[in-house]
């Protein structure tokens, strides 16, 4: 075959070329060529044309349709089908190899035993035009024990060059395929390279990268299940059992890595099982047991408003995946409407529609994760536009978040939801907000409780509007603690709270006289608080409460002991005159005694109100003591045979003989005479 190219150029350097392909037909000594190639390949070779073998034809005409077959008498035959001899380069030929490297690569990639392989190279040096290649293997999948056929293109066998092929279903259609008969397996390919018969009985390998057999805490992302498998794996699935049940299957995408998002998860212990299979139905499975314990509280950040005439869109972000709820209304004390979304997201956006134009609305935002950790920010407000049709982006995020990042330490209200609390189990909610004095609520229930929410809200120094009575002493903070179930179901409850040390100094209050007042049935109940920590900048206290309601944290104002030198006389002052030093000293002593007595009496009264049961106990002990004294006196008199009057018997005077007449043994017992 020859290519003739002719070019012409004019005086202006314009060049044009054209090519002509032509063939030179000549008789070829096929006997010499066949013997030479057979010897170099170490295989027998034959040339067929017009249905007859031309291998020993010394004057063979190559300008015709030819089938060239290479024979390996024991395992396979290879045929280049129906090519025109004029298109072949008879000076070059192909090579056939079964080198160890490619056999090893085939085993590694396919994860199986290589039954037979033919690797044909350099066919393009002999034949450049299109052709159909045929490899005929002796026997079939049953007799030769193979379960897969791979066609590999290129010089190296790897996971990208080899493809498992399917049956031709009767005829060749241009893609590699195979047909099986009783005696043969014919593999058709568009170009020769490597054809591999494999027997894969090896299960795919599975390496679990995550999750591992461990405990996962405070994850702020969806937990990822990740596997690495052998390259012949065609699909894997997982099954998650525990507090959350999920399963999913993924087919191969040319990679041996599989990943799934398996969150969000409820707190609990999980068993996650993995199952993988290759193309020969060889399967493998494994499992991992892990614990998920999310104690992270969500935070709300970057609140943004987009308000127009009759609607508003509120957007915000959270540090973990949560749902979204907005309560809103035209009064800050009555947020009676709501919009919500149950999707677990980090970026949130909710639209409020059917609003009145030119109206001020109030709202707050609540985000809860799947384990019931909730945070509420607000109350905020916006005003809908009036007399306009354009959208206005009112970005007031700086007003909503002065620090640019709302953290739990800035919120005034925190909620927590438990899906199940067994009877008698001590349950604790920790509060980590600088604006809420309450730091810990611990409680137990009399019976099993499902889906319960506890809400803690700081009211600052503002007394609840529904309460008319003011608690005694100086109030540091009012707090509302509410439970979604009845207080009657509580078996115990305990509060821990803290007060800055600077507050006691500025308000002249006593850090050793701190009380928690609970509003119940129209009155403030008093509960003395015990100091449990005085380190740092706070005093920390604890006390038990019988139930939840409105509470006031308060402390007693210290008594003033300052002596005034003014001439004006009042309850806590004296007049210093020019009398003698003795008079002055006497007067000061009297006044000091008076102040001390008043302070003592007031303290005693306050103490009796709070510790009345102590006084009742002391009174009972006194009565018992006096009664015992008189009984002993009576018994002593009777033993000594004294005759006593009623007055003498029940007086504190000692018994002497002159007080009564001693009787003989046979006389009647003494009789008390009333005087």
Tell me the CATH number at 445.
2.60.220.50
Per-residue pLDDT, 462:
84
Domain match, 42 and 180 both:
yes
* 409 has a pLDDT exceeding 60: no
In the structure, what pLDDT confidence band is assigned to residue 553 with cuts at 50, 70 and 90?
Answer: very high
Answer whether residue 610 shows pLDDT above 70: no
- Residue listed under structure tokens 């591999």: 196
Residue 562, helix vs strand vs coil:
coil
Residue 111 gets the label, from left (phi > 0), alpha (psi -120 to 50) or beta, of: left
Rounded mean pLDDT, 455-460: 89
Q: Which of 184, 105, 115, 186 is nearest to 152 (CA)?
A: 105
DSSP per-residue codes, 160-202: TTEEE-EE-TTS--SS-EEEE-SSEEEEEESS-SEEEEEE--P
1 in a structural domain:
no
Residue 491 parent element (H or E): strand 490-500
Asked if 89 contacts 71 with a C-beta cutoff of 8 angstroms, the reply is no
Element (H, E) at 27: strand 27-28
Rounded-to-integer distance, Cα 396 and Cα 349, Å = 15
Looking at residues 38-45, what average pLDDT do you find? 78
Classify residue 194: in a domain, yes or no: yes
Q: Please tell me which residue, 204 or 436, carries the higher pLDDT value.
A: 436
Specify whether 64 is located in the same domain as 92. yes
Asked if 348 contacts 303 with a C-beta cutoff of 8 angstroms, the reply is no
Same domain, 436 and 516: yes
Count Cα neighbours of 180 within 13 Å in the Cβ-side half-sphere. 15
Last residue of a domain, one of 410, 444, 472: 410
User: Whole-angstrom Cα distance, residue 515 to residue 526?
Assistant: 6
- Measured CA to CA, the distance from residue 240 to residue 498 in angstroms comes to 44
pLDDT digits (tens, 9 = 90+) for 618-654: 888 888 888 787 777 777 666 555 555 555 555 555 5
Choose the weakest-confidence range: 8-17, 273-282, 391-400, 482-491.
Answer: 391-400
pLDDT band at 480 (very low <50, low <70, confident <90, very high): very high
CATH of the domain at 217: 2.60.40.10
CA distance 332 to 380: 9
- ω into residue 412 within 30 of 0, thus cis? no
Q: What is the mean pLDDT of the chain?
A: 77
- What domain range includes position 360? 300-410
Q: What whole-number distance in Å separates Cα of residue 559 and Cα of residue 607?
A: 15
Asked if residue 573 belongs to a domain, the reply is: no
Dist CA 641 CA 670 (whole Å): 7
Under a CB-based contact definition with an 8 Å cutoff, are residues 159 and 253 in contact?
no
Percent of the chain at pLDDT exceeding 70? 74
Q: What is the mean pLDDT of residues 547-557?
A: 93
Domain presence at residue 635:
yes
For the chain, what percent of residues have pLDDT higher than 90? 17
Q: 59 φ, ψ to 5°? A: -130, 60
Same domain, 46 and 185: yes
Place 555 in a pLDDT band, splitting at 50, 70 and 90: very high
Mean pLDDT to the nearest integer, 569-586:
37
Structure tokens that stand for 360 in this block: 């001020």
| Dihedral of alpha carbons 393, 399, 405, 408, sign | negative
- Asked if 160 and 176 sit in the same domain, the reply is yes
Is 0.85 surpassed by the pTM of this model? Answer: no
Say how far apart CA 415 and CA 429 lie, in whole Å: 9
Highest-pLDDT range among 183-197, 204-218, 530-544, 611-625: 530-544
Mean pLDDT of 297-315: 88
**Confidence tier at 243 by pLDDT (50, 70, 90):** low
Burial per residue of 444-455, b for 16 or more beta-carbon CB atoms within 10 angstroms, e otherwise: bbeeebeebebb
Question: What element of type H or E holds 282?
Answer: none
Report the pLDDT value the prediction gives residue 620, as an integer from 0 to 100: 81
Do 178 and 44 lie in one domain? The reply is yes
Host H or E run for residue 538: strand 538-544
Radius of gyration of the chain (CA): 50
At 46, is the pLDDT very low, low, confident or very high (cuts 50, 70, 90)?
Answer: confident
Q: Walk across the sheet containing 438-445 and list its strands.
A: 427-430, 438-445, 490-500, 538-544, 530-533
Q: Is residue 4 a part of any domain in this protein? A: no
Structural domain contains residue 604: no
Name the region of 597 (left: φ>0; alpha: ψ -120 to 50; beta: rest): alpha
Same domain, 50 and 129: yes
- Evaluate whether residue 600 is within a structural domain: no
> Counting every residue, how long is the chain?
675
User: Residue written as tokens 């209304």?
Assistant: 329
Query: Which residues, in sequence order, are bridge partners of residue 480?
Result: 457, 550
> Is the same domain home to 35 and 183?
yes
pLDDT for the residue numbered 442: 92
Count other Cβ atoms within 10 Å, centred on residue 254.
Answer: 7
Question: Which is nearest to 375 in space by CA: 427, 433, 308?
Answer: 433
* Number of domains present in the structure of the chain: 5
Instruction: Please say if the pLDDT value at position 517 is more than 90.
Output: yes
- pLDDT score recorded for residue 100: 53
Please work out, in degrees rounded to the nearest 5, the angle formed at the alpha carbon of residue 430 by the alpha carbons of 426 and 431: 150
Q: Is 387 left (phi over 0), alpha (psi -120 to 50) or beta?
A: left
Provide the 8-state DSSP code for 604: H
The kind and range of the H/E element at 142 are: helix 141-144
Asked if residue 141 belongs to a domain, the reply is yes
One domain for residues 372 and 344: yes
Work out the angle between the directed axes of helices 612-639 and 581-610 (0-180°, nearest 10): 90
Of the ranges 127-136, 246-255, 270-279, the best mean pLDDT one: 270-279
Q: Are 495 and 423 part of one and the same domain?
A: yes
- Residue 531 is predicted with a pLDDT of 94
8 Å CB contact between 444 and 427: yes
Domain stop point among 252, 276, 293: 293
Looking only at the bridges linking them, the beta strands covering 177-180 and 166-167 are: parallel
Question: Per-residue pLDDT for 175 more than 70?
Answer: yes
Strand blocks (E) in 230-383: 233-241, 246-251, 257-261, 268-278, 283-293, 300-307, 312-329, 337-352, 360-368, 373-383
Task: Decide which of 154, 179, 199 is a domain's last residue.
Answer: 199
Least confident segment among 240-249, 261-270, 320-329, 441-450: 240-249
Report strand pairing: 312-329 vs 360-368. antiparallel
Beta-strand ranges (E) seen in 422-489 are 427-430, 438-445, 449-460, 474-483
Q: Which helix H or strand E contains 509, and what residues bound it?
A: strand 509-520
* 400 and 504, same domain (yes or no): no
The predicted pLDDT at position 245 comes to 62
What letter does residue 501 receive in the DSSP assignment?
H
CA 488, distance to chain mean position in Å, is: 33
Check whether residue 366 and residue 429 sit in a common domain.
no
| β-strand pairing of 360-368 with 337-352 | unpaired
Share in percent of the chain as helix, strand, coil (round to 5): 15, 45, 35
């Amino acid at each position: 075959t020859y290519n003739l190219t002719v070019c012409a150029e004019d005086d202006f350097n314009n060049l044009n070329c054209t090519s002509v392909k032509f063939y030179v037909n000549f008789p070829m000594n096929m006997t010499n060529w066949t013997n030479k190639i057979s010897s170099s390949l170490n295989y027998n070779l034959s040339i067929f044309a017009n249905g007859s073998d031309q291998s020993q034809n010394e004057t063979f005409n190559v300008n015709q349709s030819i089938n060239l077959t290479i024979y390996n008498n024991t395992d396979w035959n290879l045929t280049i089908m129906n090519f025109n001899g004029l298109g072949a380069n008879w000076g070059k030929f192909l090579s056939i190899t079964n080198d160890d490297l490619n056999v090893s690569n085939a085993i590694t990639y396919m994860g199986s035993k290589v039954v037979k392989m033919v690797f044909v190279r350099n066919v393009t040096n002999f034949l450049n035009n299109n052709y159909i290649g045929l490899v005929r293997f002796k026997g079939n999948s049953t007799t030769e024990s193979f379960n897969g056929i791979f066609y590999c293109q290129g010089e190296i066998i790897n996971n990208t060059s080899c493809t498992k092929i399917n049956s031709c279903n009767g005829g060749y259609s241009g893609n590699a395929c195979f047909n099986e008969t009783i005696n043969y397996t014919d593999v058709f390919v568009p170009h020769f390279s490597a054809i591999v018969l494999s027997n894969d009985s090896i299960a795919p390998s599975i390496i679990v990268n995550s999750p591992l057999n461990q405990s996962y805490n405070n994850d702020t992302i969806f937990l990822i299940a990740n596997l690495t498998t052998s390259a012949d794996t065609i699909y894997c699935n997982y099954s998650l059992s525990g507090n959350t049940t999920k399963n999913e299957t993924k087919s191969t995408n040319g990679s041996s890595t599989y990943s799934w998002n398996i969150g969000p998860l409820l707190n609990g212990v999980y068993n996650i099982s993995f199952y993988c299979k290759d193309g020969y139905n060889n399967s493998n499975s494994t499992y991992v047991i892990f614990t998920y314990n999310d104690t992270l509280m969500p935070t709300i950040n970057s609140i943004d408003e987009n308000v127009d005439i009759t609607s508003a869109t509120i957007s915000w972000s959270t540090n973990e995946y949560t749902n979204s709820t907005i309560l809103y209304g035209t009064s800050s004390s009555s947020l009676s409407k709501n919009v919500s979304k149950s999707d677990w997201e980090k970026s949130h956006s909710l639209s409020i529609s059917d609003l009145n134009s030119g109206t001020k609305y109030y709202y707050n935002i609540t985000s809860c994760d799947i384990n019931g950790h909730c945070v509420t920010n607000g109350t905020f407000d916006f005003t809908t536009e009036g007399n306009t049709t354009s959208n206005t982006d009112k970005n007031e995020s700086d007003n909503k978040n002065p620090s640019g990042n709302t953290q739990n330490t800035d919120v005034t209200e925190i909620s927590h939801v438990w899906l199940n609390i067994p009877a008698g189990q001590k349950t604790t909610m920790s509060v980590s907000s600088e604006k809420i004095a309450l730091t810990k609520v611990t409680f137990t229930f009399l019976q099993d409780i499902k889906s319960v929410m506890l809400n803690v809200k700081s009211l600052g120094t503002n007394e609840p509007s529904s309460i008319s009575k003011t608690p005694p002493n100086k109030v540091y903070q009012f707090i509302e603690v509410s439970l979604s179930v009845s207080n009657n179901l509580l078996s115990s409850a305990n509060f821990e709270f803290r007060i800055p040390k600077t507050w006691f100094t500025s308000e002249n209050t006593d850090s050793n006289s701190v009380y928690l007042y609970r509003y119940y049935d129209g009155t403030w109940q008093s509960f003395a608080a015990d100091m449990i920590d005085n380190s740092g900048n706070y005093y920390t206290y604890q006390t038990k409460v019988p139930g939840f309601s409105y509470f006031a944290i308060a402390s007693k104002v210290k008594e003033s002991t300052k002596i005034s030198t003014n001439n004006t006389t009042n309850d806590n002052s004296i007049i210093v005159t020019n009398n003698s030093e003795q008079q002055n000293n006497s007067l000061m002593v009297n006044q000091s005694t008076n102040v001390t007595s008043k302070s003592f009496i007031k303290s005693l009264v306050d103490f009796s109100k709070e510790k009345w049961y102590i006084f009742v106990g002391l009174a009972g002990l006194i009565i018992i003591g006096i009664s015992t004294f008189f009984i002993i006196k009576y018994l002593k008199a009777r033993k000594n045979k004294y005759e006593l009057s009623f007055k003498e018997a029940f007086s504190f005077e000692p018994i002497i003989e002159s007080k009564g007449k001693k009787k003989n043994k046979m006389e009647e017992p003494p009789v008390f005479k009333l005087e």
